[in-house]
Amino acid sequence: MLPLLREMLHSPVLDIVQRLKGSLGMSVNELSAAMKMSYMGVKQHCVELEKAGFLDTWRRPKGAGRPEKLYRLTSKADALFLCSGPALTLDLLTTAERVYGETAPPKLLYTYFQAKAEAWTPKLAKASTVEERAKLLAKLRSAEGCLSACETDAHGHLVLVEHHRPLRALAARYDMVDELECEMIERLLGCEVRRSVEEVSGLVRVTFQIKTTAQ
């Protein structure tokens, strides 16, 4: 994500994060010299990043005088950098198919969604209505990057609307992924769900229409 942000934004904050990622910690003096920026300008950004939890500090001993204060990235910044993600998952499923046969990927995917449903079921148990469960589910799915929201459509029907598909690459290889995901949502909400997708340019809108008993 960080390379994309650097293309869109020209912010010293991104430069600070990039430079700290390639080090074991840097002082404000080192950062300001490398960035050709004022000490106070860099210091202000570092303080704000520390308050937000993206940086912490430690003291590096010096030969003489007080130890030098260094800034370093915390694990909160990990999400800004690439990880194996979909590519690793696809490679693992391909390997499983080669080693265990063509039924291996479907079985693994089915087990994954079953386990996900089992993990989320207790978190929805306190909800007494479908709408309450849908709102809780939207929060859980948003935490996984789906940008999900529980809404009411133009006909007054309950829908789950999402604007990102973290499993897009996986679904492109294995058609059953979208079906399994929809079945998981049905199981969690306890009612029929119909899925539709709209895509324009780089935008996507996935709608899960929730068929309640009232409908």
pLDDT for the residue numbered 213: 66
Distance CA 93, CA 99 (A): 10
- Alpha helices, H only, 101-175: 104-124, 130-143, 168-173
Q: What is the mean pLDDT of residues 145-159?
A: 91
Q: Is the C-alpha dihedral spanning 29, 34, 39, 44 positive or negative?
A: negative
| Position 7 pLDDT exceeds 60 | no
pLDDT tens across 29-47, in order?
999 999 999 999 999 999 9
pTM, 2 dp = 0.73
Q: Which residues contact 48 (CB under 8 A, 6 or more apart)?
A: 13
- How are strands ordered across the β-sheet holding 148-152? 148-152, 158-162, 203-211, 192-200
| Position 18 pLDDT exceeds 90 | no
Distance CA 148, CA 15 (A): 31
Q: Are 190 and 130 in contact (CB under 8 A)?
A: yes
Nearest to 208 by CA among 200, 190, 196: 196
Of residues 64 and 4, the one with the higher pLDDT is 64
Q: In 188-208, which positions are buried (b, 16+ CB within 10 angstroms) versus exposed (e)?
A: bbebebebeeeeeeeeeebbb
| Position 215 pLDDT exceeds 60 | no
Residue 111 in tokens: 């087990």
From residue 192, alpha-carbon distances to 127, 180, 209 in Å are 18, 13, 8
